[in-house]
Amino acid sequence: MNYSPCLLVFLVATTISPAQSLLTAPPDTLGLTAALQQHWHDSDLPGFAVAVVHPAGIVYEHGFGYATTARKIPYTPATVQSIGSVSKTLIGVALLQALADGRLQLDQPVNELLPFQVRHPYFPDQPITLRHLATMTAGLTDAQGFYNRHAYAKGTKATLTNEEYLRRTLNPTGKWYRRRHFVPHAPGTYYAYSNESAALAALAIEHATGQSYAEYTRQHILLPLGMTDAGWNVAEVDSSQLATLYDPRGHIVAPYYTITYPDGGLLTSTHSLALYLRSILAPSSPGAPLSASACDSLLRPQFTATHPALHVDPQEPNQGLFWAHRRNGTVGHTGGDTGLTSFLFFDPVTRVGKIFVTNTELQKGPQSLDQFVAIWKLLDQVH
């Protein structure tokens, strides 16, 4: 989530491809499970879970390795951990829900909803809108060193609220305000990945709906979908299901909390994440948070010939509302942070989605990246 997404973009660009052929016979899930088990054995991943999702339901899900290695607690589809920036996709869903309720408009200046003012210092007369935030074109950009120092809290409880962090960072009167938090391009014209853009959109949702973002998403997304094991902090989830996070050397990562939690702090299981993805693939399914037309608005490419954006990554040339469009046609998001990696993507043609979640960081090399490549491709056996 909150470190530079360059590695994750590389991983997606080199590994994620739409399913190229459909099987005419039922998939050999026993053989698939055995193959995935072998890839875990050959990797340095402590544990991971995968799922394949179809509009009709979850086609395949399985866990491998360990949620906690020292105690050999199995990593299963019910294991809970943070999913990093895949959490951002929920902000898009919540925006469309609040839009349907008449609480906000996508092209509304965000300052109409915020308790403090945020203006682009290079273009102060051009308002930042919710759509700009949702497509990472608001003119905000992560100062990575600053973000790493200030946006995390040790332990399991933040010492600062998301609102106060954003006020200190983005309002000119804030103690951390710097022009370097903005790029010298007008709002709506230049793509720059920004965790703070996502956190700011979530704050606007709070003030539009009168509920905390955590409570709003719990009531309107998580519980209706049956994601009862999900939450935005460890107090909301079953601690017995929590995975231990590990760094690439296999050392335990001490507990930490992301102050700007909407941009990457969702704790959930792979099973619940699959329920969520299914609701996007099948908006008519029980508990789905959005109508079919709202899902179309959520996923529709926002950059067009008449409304282009500069600086888009050629591997990720377009954006929905917090949903990325890859060059190979898949749509979804990646997540990465200290001790975790997640992938959630679907093919709009076949309507098949895939999920991968692990309790460590993927690194370039034969034991981590190469094994992930093989694992991800194996999931194409299931349709």
Domain ranges of the chain: 6-381
The encoded tokens of residue 151 equal 């946006």
**Tell me, what's the pLDDT at 85?**
98
What would the mean pLDDT of 216-234 be, rounded to a whole number?
Answer: 98
Is the confidence at residue 10, as pLDDT, over 90?
Answer: no
What would the mean pLDDT of 272-279 be, rounded to a whole number?
Answer: 98
The encoded tokens of residue 28 equal 């050999």
Give the strand pairing for 340-347 and 331-337. antiparallel
- The DSSP output letter for 75 is P
**Tell me, what's the pLDDT at 383?**
78
**Tell me, what's the pLDDT at 238?**
97
Q: Which CATH class is domain 6-381?
A: alpha beta
Sheet holding 73-74, edge to edge: 73-74, 57-68, 47-54, 352-358, 340-347, 331-337, 324-325, 318-319
User: Which residues on neighbouring strands pair with residue 227, listed in sequence order?
Assistant: none
The 10s digit of each residue's pLDDT in 51-64 is 999 999 999 999 99
Residues of the chain with pLDDT > 70: what percent?
Answer: 93
The 10s digit of each residue's pLDDT in 346-355 is 999 999 999 9
Alpha helices in the chain (DSSP H): 6-15, 29-42, 88-100, 130-134, 144-150, 162-170, 195-209, 213-217, 270-281, 292-299, 369-378
**Tell me, what's the pLDDT at 80?**
98
Stretch (H or E) spanning 153: strand 152-154
**Three-state DSSP class for residue 253:** coil
What would the mean pLDDT of 161-187 be, rounded to a whole number?
Answer: 97
**Tell me, what's the pLDDT at 143?**
87
The 10s digit of each residue's pLDDT in 18-47 is 433 333 334 568 999 999 999 999 999 999
| Residues 6+ away with beta carbon under 8 Å from 219 | 211
The 10s digit of each residue's pLDDT in 116-169 is 999 999 999 999 999 999 999 999 999 889 999 999 999 988 889 999 999 999
Query: What's the length of the chain?
Result: 383
